[in-house]
Structures are given as C-alpha cells and as structure tokens.
Amino acid sequence: MTIEEHVPASLLDEASEALEELASVLAGGQTLNEALQQLAESASRVIPDAENVSVTVVGPDGASTAAATDEKVIAIDKDQYDAGNGPCLMAARIQRPVRATAEGGREKWPEFAAAAERAGVRTYLSAPIVVEDQVVGALNLYSSQESAFDPFDEALLRLFVTAASTSITGFRRYERSRRLVEHLQHALSSRAEIDQAKGVLMAAHGVDAEEAFARLVTESQQRNTKLRDVARNLLDSVRRP
C-alpha cells in the first residue's frame, strides 16, 4: 500500500496548493530570506506534525538560521551551531534526513536535547538542502509529540527541500547576473571616459586616436595606475576652473 493511500485526499490537495503558492512566491522577485521564510511557513502549515519549521544555511562563516516560524525554536538550532553537533548538522554532513527526539539525543547531542526540552520540543526532523552537489543548509521540523514525523511527513519534507534548493539556486543565478551587469556597466562607463580623454589629447596635441591612446597607456604604466583612473584624472583637470 502506498503512502498516498494512508493519507486523506484533502491533505494531499492542501499540500499541492501550498507548493503551487510557494512556486509563485519564489518566482516573485523576493529576497532569499523572504522566500525561505515563506517556505518555512508553508511547510509548517502543510506537513501534519510540523508545529514549527526553520531553515538553516551554511556559509563560509558557519551555520545560521535564515528563517523560522517561531523565535523559540531558533535557540535549538543555535545551540547545535555553537556546539558543532546535532541532528541538523548531522543531516547536512551525511546528506540524509535525520529524525531525533529530545530524550534520545541527551547522550549524543546534549546541547540539542537541553534546548529542545526548554522549548517543549519532543521530536525533530531535519533534511539537508543540496545545491549543485553542495550542501548549503537544512530544513528543520519541530513537534511537541514524541511519535511525530512518519514516512509521509518525510516525503513532504523532501518536496519542500527541493523547493528550497530551487530558491537558493535561482537567487545565486540572479546575484551572478546582477554582478555581471554591474561589471558591464562599469566597463562601459570606463570606456566612455577613456574615449573622452583620447579626444582631449587629440585636440590639445594634434595627434591621432592611436597616439592619444598610447599616451594614456604610457602614463598608466609609469604611474602604476589603472587606465580608467588616468583618463578620469585628465578629464577632471580639464573640467577644473
């Protein structure tokens, strides 16, 4: 018997609607943190046992929480980050979902277990977020019930992890495109200034474009200064009263 045969059709419909809503949000030009917050809220609403959800991101400076449905669960993940171990970090390390209980984690992850008990969390399920074969974080579910998170919950979690991966991939591509546009705009601006400086030298010294450019290059080399800065300084000197 499949998972779907154990689950009411209304719940599957709700999950489908939430994912469609999430897809429209991810395509709406939000910031990455806004998209991840929407993802966390959608997962909390759709996954039956998930009372709260957080999103962990792993960067050069370590792990941090980028989104959460309740402030009280952020401490659970922070204690894991500070200790350098816990189910969240383990899921990211082994690249597989990890289910843990506060009671069962006392010996293996004491910091996690203590923080979970303080927040009233009995069960925790974390799944890694992988982008381009690189683990970039984890999606974390919290429940006050020790029996929480069955195979259907995990299947839904995997869908939301895929959505998170898509969001992060899209944001990275957008950032790369934005930086490329900025570089091109800077290059075009520099080219315009160099052409203007060439024109000034041509008019002042009666030389052709090639000779004017050669003079700019020579000064750039002698002063160990970028060509665009040499051109800009020349133009500034001409404009100066």
Q: How confident is the model at residue 74 (pLDDT cuts 50, 70, 90)?
A: very high
Residue pointed to by tokens 């890694």: 128
| DSSP code, position 121 | -
Mean confidence (pLDDT) of the chain: 80
List the Cα angle 8/6/156 in 5-degree steps. 75
CATH T-level topology, domain 3-175:
Beta-Lactamase (3.30.450)
Tens-place pLDDT, residues 37-64: 888 888 888 888 899 999 998 888 888 9
Q: Which residue has the higher pLDDT, 36 or 113?
A: 113
Cα dihedral: 208, 211, 216, 221 (round 10):
170
Where does CATH 3.30.450.40 sit in the chain? 3-175
Task: Return the percentage of the chain with pLDDT > 90, whole number.
Answer: 18
Q: What is the CATH number of domain 178-239?
A: 1.10.10.10
Q: Does this model's pTM top 0.75? A: no
- Say what the pLDDT of residue 213 is: 83
Where does CATH 1.10.10.10 sit in the chain? 178-239
